[in-house]
Chain A
Amino acid sequence: MAQVQRSPEVFDVVVVGSGAGGGTTVRVLTEHGIKCALLEAGPMLNVAKEFKEHQMPYDVPHRGAEDGGAAYFGKGKPFGYFSTTSGGWELDGEPYTVGEGSEFRWFRSRILGGRTNHYGRMSFRFSPYDFKPYSKDGLGYDWPVTYEEMSPYYDKAERFVGVTGENHNDMPSAPNGQFLKPPPPKVHELLIKKSCDKLGIPCIPNRRAIVTEPMKGRIPCHYCGQCGRGCQTASAYSSSQVEIFPAMKSGKLKVFDNAMVREVLTDGNGKATGVVYIDKNTRREKIIHARAVVLAASACESARILLNSKTKEFPNGVANTSGVVGRFLMDTVGFGLSGYVPAMEGMPHYNTDGFGGAHLFMPWWKWDKHHQLDFPRGYHVEIGGGYGMPGIGSFQGAARRAGYGKGIKELARKEYGASIGFAGRGEMIPNIHSYCEIDRNVVDRWGIPVLKFHFKWSDYEWKQARHMEKTFADIINGMGGRVTGLSAAQREADGISTPGTIIHEVGTVRMGNDKRDSALNKFNQAHEVKNLYVVDGGFFVSNPDKNPTLTINAFAWRAADHLAEEMRKGNV
């Protein structure tokens, strides 16, 4: 250890990870006047270089197929060349393993801002019932907090992040909040809403982290519709642009990029003293000391750091005497179906890009009818459709059906914009077969032992996916359309998302009131290490059908306030 380089600077708090959790934490802490170091395992974000939202496919010679046509061989960037994904399902030299009989895919982002640079911006606060699922149906576990405790922080987070939406007093699955004006529905969404009306399914303005009016220096959305590629104007929220860059200007924040954290250091008396990281530029180990450590490296990466931080005091890893770290891994249940709607063939074209995603969504509508269903938890539905920007693969269906010649153009013109898609996003019940652990046999290129994943969907999730399928088919048929997405054979094999691929992995460092079966208290503070907090998706006790980011924003904000107060009182 004598040769390990220590940072000469002294920080109050070291924060690991720069996504929604880490970004919120450094912004709030620096506002409290606390000096922070932020460690990001990828490079600094260069917005002008990284975000490609205004490019057309012909602006690059490979048109989006990437060099050598990598996209044709399944080797292109996840979500396509133009999307902002500095990371992916596989990272060079940073493997993970999967247990026999399991399937799991782990998406990791390696850039300042992490996945918030390109995420879907769906921003759904939990419902009151989401915090007490065990009390409701006897499955899973209750959270140590109530909706009433969290609601003020959801309010703050929505006001800060900027979330569109409308209040609906009769919709327990979509509680009221602090919303900006949503854009009007598109034609296919109006048709879908009509079809949903007949089925008793609510279809309401979407809740997305995009500002539709000027907000704290952010200009309103200009409706170019390419949010997944990054938003140069930061009208769509990203932690990099909206939290971290402003915090850097405060002079209270120093960002260390390409810093891959290996472990949390402790003093043998239940206190964290800093972190050890590998500087990727030099491949040398370095140490940063601080009064407090906040992990926000993503649910599984934070679990990995804790499990790799073994000491005499913590033989199972720091803050893991309970043994829960890595357990209770959850993803969201995903199922998708597409349809073709002849009513929209030949429609006068208009700009359907809007704010880059659906303008309507369907919150769960059977929250009080689970006794009539063969699965216990709900899902919401996301909508796709419109005249998307032509890209690699866009008209291959028409091309194959037409064969060759003029027919391809005719079919493409006729069918363009007449397809719709539905994506169900449902709640999984945590189970004992789904977890991650350290693979003792494999290290990554930085010498850090890697994670091994185990995962199983239970019947609850499969049955929920079948309900999604039936529902989507009913909606499509109800509007005079036909299902095009999946065949009967495909349903057998592919009737539910591959675990991990919805990229909502949470639960591996969960919170709770009882330190015997949780790692964190309700303020995201480790039960056993008072100056250690975990504020990424790791703290989730359940994984409701509400995309996790806004909840991470809200809890991280609350945790940062708590940490600041504890530091002020001298408890940390």
Chain B
Amino acid sequence: MSKSTSTRRDALRKIALGLTAAGSLQQLDAQAAEHVHSAAAADTKGGKYTPKLFNAHEWATITRLSAIVVPADDRSGSAVDAGAPQFIDLLCSQNQELAVIFTGGLSWFDAEMRKRVGKEFVSATPAEQTAMLDAIVAAERTVREQGAEQALFARAQQYKSFSGYTVKPGTDLAPGVKFFDWARRLIVDAFYTSPIGVKDVNYIGNVAISKYEVPQEAIDYAFNRSPFRIV
């Protein structure tokens, strides 16, 4: 985080310098922009998070689920490291509809696990936890293949509903499939919108540069794998 933040600070500074040279046009008030930026950043930092909505058990469950959905590997941390539980708790605390989806879903996870192995989700072994997720994902795939096109290709346009699958009635795992779709969506978004996730996919834009260039190395790489030859 500190690296990319300082890069953007440098960028803003560069822009501010350019503006001083540019003169009187009302454009960037760089100081103000910087202020807004740091105020926002400060909010995401800091000590121990106290859940606003989830109770201790729900918090432990969503934390465990986040770690399974996007686990750490040799390149980057997990969704827990990326603040997924905080992100989900925050949004749920602001939205009753979302809160119901999550508290209800987490509770269903416990009930399902109890049915399977007589334990709550967090108390189950990792193998038992992944076995249950495997079953949910398998059910989801069946549903997706059956329910098909519409769900697969629903356009996520802002003004249309974003919500996902229609689950066939009679599937025992249906509530789990629905909830898991929501949980995964928010966990994955939390991961990739964090400094860890941005670094994981190696996004290197949104910086101020004076000249835009495309590296020959990248051109060569793609062309050598394409039907075309470089002129």
Contacts and interface: CB of A to CB of B under 8 A. Distances in A.
Answer whether A and B are interacting partners: yes
Interface of A: 47-49, 51, 53-65, 67-74, 76-80, 89, 105, 183-188, 190-191, 194-195, 214, 217-220, 222-226, 232-234, 241, 245-246, 249, 341-355, 387-396, 399-400, 403-406, 408-409, 412-413, 416, 478-480, 485-490, 494
Contact of B91 (A62, A222, A232): A62
Contacts of B18: 219, 222, 233
Given A233-B27, A354-B212, A490-B149, A412 B15 contact: no
Contacts of B202: 349, 387, 416
Contact of A409 (B75, B198, B205, B227): B75
A406 B40 contact: no
Contact of B21 (A53, A78, A219, A342): A219
A185 B216 CA distance: 12
Contact of A191 (B75, B158, B200, B223): B223
A344 B218 CA distance: 9
Given A219-B15, A352-B205, A487-B152, A48 B162 contact: no
A389 B206 contact: yes
Interface stretch (B31-39, B55-63, B113-121): B31-39
Contacts of A76: 158
Contacts of B153: 485-487, 489-490
Contact of A60 (B40, B70, B140): B40
A227 B161 CA distance: 26
B27 A71 contact: no
A184 B228 CA distance: 19
A91 to B, nearest CB: 13
B124 interface: no
Given A48-B36, A220-B210, A403-B133, 13 more contacts: A48-B28, A48-B33, A63-B189, A67-B95, A70-B95, A71-B158, A74-B161, A232-B30, A249-B24, A389-B198, A405-B68, A409-B75, A489-B148
Interface SS of chain A: helix, strand, loop or mixed? loop
Contact of B213 (A184, A214, A232, A393): A184
29 contacts: A48-B28, A54-B206, A57-B193, A58-B193, A59-B41, A60-B43, A63-B87, A63-B190, A63-B194, A69-B94, A71-B162, A80-B158, A186-B214, A190-B223, A191-B228, A224-B206, A224-B208, A245-B26, A249-B24, A343-B226, A351-B204, A388-B203, A389-B198, A390-B197, A390-B198, A392-B193, A393-B189, A394-B189, A394-B192
A61 B90 CA distance: 8
Interface SS of chain B: helix, strand, loop or mixed? helix
A351 B226 contact: no
Given A54-B37, A390-B201, A348 B215 contact: yes
A389 B205 contact: yes
Nearest to A77: B158
A54 B12 contact: yes
Contacts of B156: 393, 396
Contacts, number: 291
Interface of B: 1, 4, 8, 11-12, 14-15, 18-19, 21-30, 32-33, 36-37, 40-41, 43-44, 68-71, 73, 75-76, 87, 90-91, 94-95, 97-98, 130, 133, 137, 140-141, 144, 148-150, 152-153, 155-163, 184-186, 188-190, 192-195, 197-198, 200-210, 212-215, 217-219, 221-223, 225-228
Contact of B221 (A223, A347, A486): A347
Given A65-B91, A347-B222, A404 B150 contact: no
B192 A412 contact: yes
Contact of A223 (B12, B140, B209): B209
Contact of B22 (A184, A217, A388): A217
A56 B159 contact: no
A392 B137 CA distance: 22
Contacts of B221: 346-348
A347 B1 CA distance: 24
B188 A408 contact: yes
A396 to B, nearest CB: 6
Nearest to A184: B214
B8 A56 contact: yes
A65 B222 contact: no
Nearest to A76: B158
A558 to B, nearest CB: 25
Contacts of B214: 184-187, 350
A351 B71 CA distance: 27
The 8 closest A-B pairs by CB, nearest first: A68-B95, A353-B205, A57-B193, A48-B32, A232-B28, A68-B94, A63-B193, A222-B208
